[in-house]
Structure 1
Amino acid sequence: SYSDILIEREVLMQKYIHLVQIVETEKIAANQLRHQLEDQDTEIERLKSEIIALNKTKERMRPYQGNQEDEDPDIKKIKKVQSFMRGWLCRRKWKTIVQDYICSPHAESMRKRNQIVFNMVEAESEYVHQLYILVNCFLRPLRMAASSKKPPISHDDVSSIFLNSETIMFLHEIFHQGLKARIANWPTLILADLFDILLPMLNIYQEFVRNHQYSLQVLANCKQNRDFDKLLKQYEANPACEGRMLETFLTYPMFQIPRYIITLHELLAHTPHEHVERKSLEFAKSKLEELSRVMHDEVSDTENIRKNLAIERTIVEGCDILLDTSQTFIRQG
């Protein structure tokens, strides 16, 4: 029927369209392959030209190589001697340069600077050891003694004698570890950032220095107690103390800030002005000097008040004028 013919026609048209699409796709693929073949032909031609050029270069080099092979043995010996002499002259020149630098003022200054740093690390190690003895051979045992049934000393007196020495020990243990880590990276020695960390914490010295004289007075008063004096002598007999008394260990922190100032002064004397650490070290030195002045003034004021109070206590009826903090002690007697 006519409808069947139309259906067959539609089917045939769809097949025709599909075949046309396949043909177009194949044409595109064929064009791509043709372009690839052309590119490969071009690459082959280029490689051929490079091979020809290399062969020509090789042909030109052959006479030179032949000349080298046919070179006179004496000429070869002369060339070897010349090569040896050139190497010897270069080594000699380099040795001269190195020796000149070693003898130069800059190298001498750097050697002194390194030695100052090494000495500072050794001094810091010794100081930490002294603080360790102070805390572990005196402070902690006396704290335990103060907690006993018959305490030879009170906790308040222990605190007054040792103040914040334990905190100072912890601080310097950290600083010492930092110094040792920097020494491990020698010859690169960067110290300024360590002082940047240390400086804000050095204010803890103010309390210790301000009350140092008072702590020694408390210690002297406690020594009037026979039990305490006997116990203290027992602690001082510890081999780690090396015959030093407690007063000696209490005095060590008093000199640490001035020691840092002296060390930085020496370090700056051998640090070039263009050195990367120059400004940081100068800043650290100025801050330490400022802290030292403040502590000195506070010690003077504190001692002045204590002396006035001591005189006021000797007066039977007291003296209100001496209780005025603006009064300055000049001399006694």
Structure 2
Amino acid sequence: MARYHIVKELLTTEKNFVKILNVIVNEFMKPLGTPGQRGGQLLTNENVKSIFGNIPDILRVHTDIMNGLEERINNWESNTCIGDILLGQSEELLRVYPPYINYFEVTKEALSSCDRQFPRFHAFLKCNESKPECGRQTLSELLITPVQRIPRIILLLQGTI
């Protein structure tokens, strides 16, 4: 029964993480990458790429993990395992995380620089960060969640042994 509760907690945290990634993509990245905004595009495509990197790829991988975990929880039996779900995504995790984590300082600097340089972008950030879906977090705080996710998964899984 303890394994079930740990996997349930893993699923809950995975759902929260996917929700945060969706907020990043839908409330910040997509609107910034949309041409034809009144007054012109807020940031160049290069700026958008520098700030958001491969967040959509990370979102896709974690959506797959979340769906796999949800299916296992819905069909839980005493001998249910989840290792194959994570192992099945291991190549993708190894592909998407190193570039994001290795360039996270560049991401933070690009965000900070654009925030200082472009008043319309600054206003866009303040407006979007005040939305309830952001949970009173700044874009910078939201963007660090992928850096923190893998260590949190490891800590949760250590409880399944």
Normalization by structure 2: what TM-score?
0.92
Could you tell me how far 1:231 is from its partner in structure 2?
Answer: 1.4
What is the identity, as a one-letter code, of the residue corresponding to 2:109?
Q
Rounded to whole Å, the distance in 1 between the matches of 2:140 and 2:88 is 30
Q: Does 1:218 align with 2:110?
A: yes
Q: Does 1:166 align with 2:56?
A: yes
- The match for 1:123 is 13
Structure possessing the higher radius of gyration over alpha carbons: 1
Which residue, 113, 116, 121 being the options, matches 1:228?
121
Structure 1 stretches lacking a partner, 5+ long: 1-110, 269-333
Structure 2 stretches lacking a partner, 5+ long: none
Structure 1 stretches of 4+ moved >2 Å: 146-152
Normalization by structure 1: what TM-score?
0.46
Alpha carbon RMSD of aligned pairs, Å?
1.4
- The match for 1:247 is 140
Could you tell me how far 1:192 is from its partner in structure 2?
Answer: 1.5
- The match for 1:294 is none
- The match for 1:201 is 92
Could you tell me how far 1:147 is from its partner in structure 2?
Answer: 5.2
* CA deviation profile, 1:214-257 (whole Å, cap 9, x unmatched): 10100000011211101111111222112211011100000111
More helix, by proportion: 1
| Inter-CA distance 171–211: structure 2 relative to 1 (3 Å threshold) | same
Rounded to whole Å, the distance in 2 between the matches of 1:179 and 1:168 is 16
Percent identical among aligned pairs is: 27
* CA deviation profile, 1:290-320 (whole Å, cap 9, x unmatched): xxxxxxxxxxxxxxxxxxxxxxxxxxxxxxx
Higher relative contact order (CA 8 A, sep 6+): 2
Alignment of 1:147-166 (within 5 A): 148=37, 150-166=40-56
What is the identity, as a one-letter code, of the residue corresponding to 1:240?
E
